[in-house]
Amino acid sequence: MAVVYQRNRKCEVGIHLNKNWYSSSISPIGLTYSIHVERAYRGMVELDYLERTKKGIFDRQGRKDGKRRNRVTRYRATDRLIDKFTAQEQEVLPVIVPPQEAHELIRIRVRTEDGRDEVYPAPRSGEVELMKWNLERINRVLARCWYDLEVPDSELAELQARLANDPEDERRLALHQRTLHRVFNDDELTTGGRFYGGWWQNIPKAYRRHLIVDGKRMVEIDYSNLHPVILYAEAGVTPPDDCYRRIFNDEIEARYGDDLRSMVKAAFNAMLNAEKKLSQAPEDIEPSQFGMTWRDVSEAILTAHAPIADRFYTGIGKRLQRKDSDVAERVMLDFIDNGNSILPIHDSFLVHEGHRNLLDERMQAALLEVCDVETRLKLVEPDLSRIFAKRAKEREQDPEGFGPETTQDIVEIFAAEEGYEKRLGAFFRLSRIAAEK
């Protein structure tokens, strides 16, 4: 069902109405067309428990730019369905909804000649079985903890609605999506292999600083210049300190600063992933904002990185993803072997802030073990600005420092909790019930 945080901000979810999809091996475990679509979905629409919000589209011809506008049917819960839950249950719906079971844990995704993404399970082999076993171990540990955002429910609802209502954005905010799978780009498993599936991977970067695990704040550490460092090591040349700066003259670099660096990084990675020279800027890269053309950017990067210039436009980026995904697997296994939760976002990781030194150590060891290189790590601290603002407001309202009035009324105590605190409490209670069974 569509999880809601407020009645006026209902989350939409998609449903496949193509019967063939349910017979494929990538469809969710235990889901069948006759039960899920013909009985559950259509029956609940007929009973006014669900409402269709957007009709699905299958674009056979595509647009002039060659891209297809395919979209599955979308629906949401009606007030009639929501009223089946108590007010307390509605506040913790993301916890009540069972964790989404992973589809095929190891899958292949390739782009067909007509521009469609074809997804199918990886061919069985000893390597694939080992990857599945490792993922099952990782997912079991992930399921033991509750991950949330330390923001008011009103803001969480706005973020959920913003992601759900953007037709160009496939990201969704659904807190029950807490399992991972790996996606490769070829049957030989030489390209891709990164981990996907966790809801925390879908939120805007700024919100990662508000992530909490079991009510405790998290830090994020990522590898600096990872792919360039690997390529320079293979070429036997020492890389620049920052491979995404000093691409243009000092005046341009000073004028545009970090915005220019972000554009260069995106262009650098696009050039590594492309299998042939690009005649125009990829989507979401706009050199014109900096008074440049795509050709200006491409030529500047090739010139600045002459020692590895022959690696651009060869598709090597996807082969590098296989390496960084193996590094990620190693780091996660090191953590979960000690019972510690860890959230991956490709080549960065989020852990409880008390484990930052351990994460630093394990990331360096895994990179050296898998790729035989070293690079700097970047730490992103949790955002405490809201906490400081709240404390400042409390000091303003209570200058003598007596503190807020306390109550023994259990109803008032629970009512004062933030939404993420209520969800965490519900998660612990359900976990205890499950353990007792």
Residue 195 domain flag: no
Amino acid at 362: R
- State pTM to two decimals: 0.84
Residue 161 domain flag: no
Residue 326 domain flag: no
Residue 419 domain flag: yes
Residue 255, pLDDT score? 94
What is the token pair recorded at 320? 């590098």
Residue 251 domain flag: no
Residue 434, pLDDT score? 84
Q: Which of 55, 78, 95 is the last residue of a domain?
A: 95
Residue 198 domain flag: no
Distances (CA, A) of 131 to 18, 105, 194, 195: 30, 8, 12, 11
Residue 163, pLDDT score? 78
Residue 395 domain flag: yes
Residue 417, pLDDT score? 73
Residue with tokens 């979209």: 71
Q: List Cβ neighbours of 217 (8 Å cut-off, separation of 6 or more).
A: 150, 211, 352, 353, 382
Q: Which of 95, 118, 134 is the last residue of a domain?
A: 95
What is the token pair recorded at 45? 């629409």
Residue 219, pLDDT score? 95
φ, ψ for residue 86, nearest 5 deg = -70, 165
Cβ distance 324 to 318 under 8 Å? Answer: no
- Structural domain of residue 428, as residue ranges? 385-436
Distances (CA, A) of 184 to 187, 269, 315, 321, 365: 8, 18, 14, 9, 24
Domain count, the chain: 2
The tens-digit pLDDT sequence of the chain (437 residues) is 445 555 666 677 788 898 888 877 667 667 889 999 999 999 999 999 999 998 887 765 555 555 556 778 989 889 899 889 888 888 888 888 877 666 689 999 988 776 677 888 899 999 999 999 999 999 999 999 999 999 988 888 888 877 766 655 566 788 888 899 999 999 999 999 999 999 999 899 999 999 999 999 999 999 999 999 999 999 999 999 999 999 999 999 999 999 999 999 999 999 999 999 999 999 889 999 999 999 999 999 999 999 999 999 999 999 999 999 999 999 999 999 888 899 999 889 999 999 999 999 999 999 999 999 999 999 999 887 766 566 566 566 666 665 555 555 444 444 557 789 999 999 999 989 888 87
Residue with tokens 């090739």: 302
Residue 417 domain flag: yes
φ, ψ for residue 97, nearest 5 deg = -65, 125
Q: Which of 95, 118, 143 is the last residue of a domain?
A: 95
